[in-house]
Every structure is written in C-alpha cells, then in structure tokens.
Structure 1
Amino acid sequence: MNLWRLPNITIAPEVIIPGTWITNTLLCTWISIICLFVVLYFGTRRQDLIPTGLQNALEWLVEFLQNLVEGVAGKEKGKKFFPLVATFFIFILFCNLLDIIPGVDTIGLIHPEKAGTVVTGPFLFGQASNQIVPLLRPATTDLNLTLAMALVSVVVTQILGFSMLGFKDQISKYLNFKAIKEKGGMGFVDLLVGLLEIISELGRLISFSFRLFGNVFAGSVLLAVFAYLLPVVADIIFIPFELFVAVIQAFVFAFLTLLFMQVGTTSHSHHDEGEHEVHHEYEGSAVTTH
C-alpha cells in the first residue's frame, strides 16, 4: 500500500461543487479580486502626505508603472494606456502570487466517481490521493482567463487605434488599396504586408494567452509535485523562484500590451513621411557635396 501518490495533473480547471459551474480556478479568481480590494482599501484609506508602509509601497508601484508607460508612449498617450497596463500587471501579479500559498493545488476533495471507491473529504494520503480535485488553483492556469485578457488587450488596442488615428488611417494598415493605385505592382507588397498584420493580430491572441498560461501552469505543477516529494526543499528552492516568475510574467504581459498599443496607435503614414524626408535630405546633401 502506497502512503501517497503523485497528483493527477489536468490542464482544464475542475468543478469543485458538483452540479455547478464553480471551478477551482474561478474560486481562486474571486479570492484574488477580494485580496486586491483589501490591499487597495487599506493602502489608500489614509493617504498621508508622507506615505509609510502599505501606502508607500502602492505609491511606489503606481509611480513605477506610470514612469514605464510614459517612457514608452509619452505623457499624452501614457494617460490613455496607463489604466489598462496597470490593471493587467496588478491583477495578474495577485493571481500568480496565490500559487505560493501552502495548500493551493495540493489540498482538495476526492470525488467518489473519480476514485472508484466511496471516499469523501479532504485527503493528502492514501490510494486515492492522486485523484484529489484541488479546491484552489491559480487563476492564470486557466486558459479561459488568459485568452480573455489577451482578447481585451487586442480589442482595446484596435479601439484606441481607430479613435486616435481615424478610421481611414487605421484600416489602411491592414487593407492598403491606396498603395496599389500609387505604386502599381509594388503596391501589392504593401497589401500583402497588411494581410500579414491581420494574421499577426490573431496570432497575438494565441501568444499572449499561451505564454502566460504555460509559464504559470508549469510552475504550479512543479510546486505541486515537489510539495508531495520534498516539501522542505520545495519551500526553500522553488517558492522564491515562483515569486520571481510571478512578477516577471505579470510584467511581460503588461509591457507587451503597452508596446502593442504604442505600435497600434502609430500611423504608417508618419513612417512614410519620415522616410521621404530622410530621402530628400540625403539627396540634398549629395548634391551639395558634388
């Protein structure tokens, strides 16, 4: 008889209350949101002129994100980009940090229909211990959530592009029929580039969602397995590493969103004008030299 068995790893979130739609990742999402509200409430309720403690940490975080956004997009665009970028970073960070709490991914219920025997209640040991359905699983290990955030990122980028550049300039990035009229046969190259831009927008949904999901899910599985094998070693080695990964993955998702919003709100005609100006300046300097 085995003392315990390694947990059964499943990619899809599992329902923790039979007959409902409440999954372990959804429950963890709610907990992340509650923790976020609690931290923000206690960190902003006093608003001292000389901040200390939690207020000081939150102000430092907001200032860091604001400087990052304005450094990439400038002050004018930064005001529009900052709310979404900051929200993504803080929310993803809180979701990722729950993964290092003891019991997440390891403590749950054994459903009789999965175990094949009549066993109920929370168990860590026994023949059916590998059939545990975790009560809590990090929200960002649910592909539904990461895909939804990626969709929000892409859609908001397009909305900002249309609102800041106008319909004609924004749509010309993808369907540049004007280039065919101006450049003739070479204009088909610009049209092809625009079609590739459409494909890249769709590919961004996949890369955004799977990058965050894959990294967090792999770390979550690693912690869960080593929590069964070598609990002390897992605490010493892998938890600090997971803290680093949690911050990095939140930063990468938010920063890539910022970069894509900056590129998505930059007109291609500005690049063309800049190239023409450089070309004319080069021709002028060449004539002067000769």
Structure 2
Amino acid sequence: MNLWRLPNITIAPEVVIPGTWITNTLLCTWITIICLAVILFFGMRRQDLVPRGMQNALEWVVEFLQNLVESVAGKEKGKKFFPLVFTFFIFIVLANLLDVIPGVDTIGTIHSEKAGAAITGPFLFGDASNQIIPWIRPATTDLNLTLAMALVSVVVTQIMGFSMLGFGEQISKYLNFRAIKEKGAMGFVDLLVGLLEIISEIGRLISFSFRLFGNIFAGSVLLAVFAYLLPVVANIVFIPFEIFVAVIQGFVFAFLTLLFMQVGTTSHAAHHDEGEHGIHHEYEGSAAAH
C-alpha cells in the first residue's frame, strides 16, 4: 500500500454534489462573490474622513485604478469604463487568491468508480489518494468562467463603441464599403482591414480566456503537486509567487479591457484627422525654418 499518490489533474471541473450541476469551480465562484460582498460591506460601512484598515485599503485600490483609467481614457470616458475595469480586477484577484488557502484543490472526496473497490485512507492518503475530487477549486481555473468574462469584455466594448460613435461609424470599422466608393480599387484594402478586425475580435476572446485560465491553472497544479512533495518548501517559495501572479493576472485582464474599450470608442476618422493635422504642422514648421 502507498502512503499517498500524486493527484490526478483534470482540466474540466468536477461535480461535488451528486445529482446536481454544482461543480467545485462554481462553488468557489460563489465563495468568491460572498467574500467580495463581505469585504466591500466592512470596507464601506463607516466611510470615515480619515480612512483606516479595510476602508483605507479599498480606497487605495479604487483611487489607483481610477487614476489609471482616467490617464488612459480621460475623465469623461473614464467614468463609464471604471465600473467594469474595477469589477474585473477585484473579482479576478480575489478568485485567484483563494488558490493559496490550504485545502483548496487538495482536500475532497474519493472518486470511488475510478479508484476501484478497495479504497484505503481518507482524502489525502492511501492507494486511492490520486482520485480525489476537490471540494473547492479556484474559479479562474474553469475555462467557462474565463471565456464568459472575455465575452463580457468584448461585448461591452462593442456596446460602448455603438453608443459613443454611432452605428455607422462603428460598423464601418468592420464593413467599410464606403471606402470602395471613395477610393475605388484601393478601398478593398480598407475593407480587408475591417474583416481582419472581426477576426481580431474573435482572437481576443481566445487570448483573454486562455491567458487567465492557463496561468492560474498551471499555478494551481504546481501548488497541488508540491503540497504533496515538499509542503514546507511550497509554502515558502510558491505561495508568495502565486500571490504575485494572482494580482498581476487580474491587473492584466482589467488593463487590457480598458485599452480595448478606449480603442473601440475612438473614431478612425479622428485618428486620420489627427495624423493629417500633425503632418500639416510639421510641414509648416519645416517651411518656416527654411
């Protein structure tokens, strides 16, 4: 009999309550939402003029992200972009941080069908210890969740574009038939660029979802394996690194969403006019110098 075996790594989430659709990642998503609600409640209930404790930490995060959003998009657009950017950041960071809590991804029930008839040892120990179904698994290790957040990011960006630029200007980014009428044969180049923009939107869904999923899933596997091999070393070395990765991945997802919303709500005609305006001024400056 083996004392323990390395855990069986599965990409797909597993059902933790038989007969239901509740998976370990969905359960962790609910836990993340509850924790987030508790943190926001205790951080905002007093609202002292001189903040301290949880209120001080939350205000620092809000001010940091608000300044970042306004520096990229300006105050007017920043007010519209900030709620989504802040929500993505704080939710992803908290969901990622749950991975470093002891027992997450390592404690659960034995999958009796895969383990066979002889099941020895509870949870972490015995011949069947590699057939554990974790009760809780980090929410962002579920591709369904990361793909859903990527879809929200892309869809909201498009809605913002139609709202701020108008239907005609926004749709011309992707189907620029007007360029064929104005430029003739050269207009087909603009039409092709627009079609490539459609492909890039689909590529954004893939890159957004797989970047976050891949980084957090790999870190989760790393912690789970080393929790069995070298528990003390894992705590000292990998947990601080995973905390760093958790924050960075939340920031990257939120910041890229901000950048895409800024680009998606900027008129192509404005870029063209600014370019011509800059060239005109450069020409006038050169002529004056001569």
Tell me the TM-score range normalised by the shorter chain: over 0.9
* d(CA) in 2 for partners of 1:111, 1:180: 62
Q: 1:152 to 1:120 in 2, by over 3 A?
A: farther
Corresponding residue for residue 218 of structure 1: 218
Q: 2:4 touches 2:126 (CA, 8 Å); kept in 1?
A: yes
For the 8 Å contact 1:6–1:228, the answer to whether it is kept is yes
2-structure distance, mates of 1:30, 1:51: 29
Distance 1:97 1:34 in 2: 14
Q: Supply the distance in 2 between the matched residues of 1:34 and 1:234 (Cα, whole angstroms).
A: 28
Q: Does 1:19 align with 2:19?
A: yes
| Partner SS state of residue 272, structure 2 | helix
CA shift, 1:74, in A, is 0.5
Matches within 5 A, 1:193-232: 193-232=193-232
Pairs within 5 Å for 1:147-162? 147-162=147-162
For structure 2, the 5+ residue unaligned runs are none
Residue 237 (structure 1) aligns with: 237
Per-residue deviation, 1:288: 5.3
Distance 1:217 1:284, change over 3 A: same
Structure 1: tracts of 5 or more residues without a match: none
Name the SS of the counterpart of 1:133 in structure 2: strand
Shift of the 43–286 alpha-carbon distance from structure 1 to 2, 3 Å rule, reads closer
Moved over 6 A (4+): none
1:126 matched residue in structure 2: 126
The amino acid across from 1:107 in the alignment is I
Q: Is the 8 A contact 1:175 1:194 kept in 2?
A: yes
Q: Which residue identity is paired with 1:54?
A: M
Structure 2 letter corresponding to 1:103: G
Whole-angstrom CA distance in 1 between matches of 2:184 and 2:288: 32
Partner residue in 2 for 1:177: 177
Q: Is the 8 A contact 1:111 1:119 kept in 2?
A: no
CA distance in 2: counterparts of 1:120 and 1:267, whole angstroms: 65
**8 Å Cα contact 2:147/2:209 also seen in 1:** yes
Q: Is 1:90 aligned to residue 90 of structure 2?
A: yes
Residue aligning to 1:276: 276
| 1:86 positional shift | 0.0
State the one-letter code of the partner of 1:48.
Answer: D
Paired position in structure 2 for 1:81: 81
State the 1:185 CA deviation. 1.4
Residue 35 of structure 2 is matched in structure 1 by 35
1:253 correspondence with 2:249: no
The 3 A distance-change label for structure 1 pair 158 and 120 is farther
The DSSP-based 3-state class of the residue aligned with 2:133 is: strand
Q: Is the 8 A contact 1:111 1:120 kept in 2?
A: no
Contact 2:36 2:94 in 1 (8 A): yes
Provide TM-score, normalisation by structure 2. Answer: 0.97
Percent pairwise identity: 81
**2:3 counterpart residue number:** 3
Describe how 1:111-122 pairs up with structure 2 within 5 A: 111-117=111-117, 119=119, 122=122
Per the alignment, residue 108 of structure 2 pairs with: 108
Q: Distance in 2 between matches of 1:254 and 1:172?
A: 27
1:169-205 C-alpha deviation (Å, 9 max, x unpaired): 1111111111111111111111111100000000000
Q: Aligned with 1:104: secondary structure?
A: coil
CA change 1:121–1:169 in 2 (3 A) is farther
Counterparts of 1:277 and 1:226, CA distance in 2: 59
The one-character-per-residue Cα deviations of 1:61-84 (angstroms, maximum 9, x if unpaired) are: 111110010011000000000000
